Homo-oligomer: A and B are copies of this chain.
Amino acid sequence: MEGYEEVFVDGLYRIQNGRDYYYAVLLRKHDDDKVLPVFIGAPEAMAIQMALNNIRFKRPLTHDLLVSVLDSLGVSVSKVTIDAVIEGIYTATLVLKDENTNKEKWYIDARPSDSIVIALKTNSPIYVSMKLENHFVPKEIFLEDFEE
């Protein structure tokens, strides 16, 4: 995918700041140790953690419902892309394809957190725009800055 680089979920970190907790999911490139830290809320962190560990509840959670809707409609997730940063917030796109034609057809504006959960649940690739290259940091630097 031109102008984009594939990443995978390296891990999820909980960061303490006084009495508050923040969560960051680290997206890592395949060929080096640089990571893109994406800060997310607690419910999204829980959803990512459960997706990473393949934990499923008896009843469908919200992202399971979304995947189930897509399945029913004959639509599948082609990929998710992290495209830009606006006022410190990353934007993402859920790229959907028609299962009949196998062609990408729908591009849905989404948060990175939801996109990552859905990518994990559907085994879809995650891409980051090369415009965000300078937001990647060496993993050791991130870990030093935010001790778990």
Secondary structure at the A interface, as helix, strand, loop or mixed, is mixed
Number of copies: 2
Cβ–Cβ contact B106 & A65, under 8 A: no
Docked CA distance A108–B72 (Å): 8
A62-B96 contact given A69-B70, A73-B73, A108-B68, CB 8 Å threshold: no
Q: CB-CB contacts of A88-121 with B at 8 A, as 1s and 0s?
A: 0101001010000000001011110010000000
The count of chain A contact residues (Cβ–Cβ below 8 Å) is: 26
A3 in the interface (beta carbon within 8 A)? no
Docked CA distance A62–B58 (Å): 20
Docked CA distance A126–B72 (Å): 21
Cβ–Cβ contact B108 & A69, under 8 A: yes
Instruction: Choose from B61, B65, B72, B111 the contact partner of A60 (Cβ within 8 Å).
Output: B111
Docked CA distance A72–B75 (Å): 12
A14 in the interface (beta carbon within 8 A)? no
Measured CB to CB, the closest approach of chain B to A43, in angstroms, equals 4
Docked CA distance A62–B94 (Å): 12
Interface residues in chain A, defined as those with a beta carbon under 8 Å from any beta carbon in chain B: 43-44, 58-63, 65-66, 68-70, 72-73, 75, 89, 91, 94, 96, 106, 108-111, 114
Q: Could you jot down 9 A-B contacts, CB within 8 Å? A: A58-B89, A59-B89, A60-B110, A62-B62, A65-B111, A65-B114, A69-B69, A69-B70, A73-B96
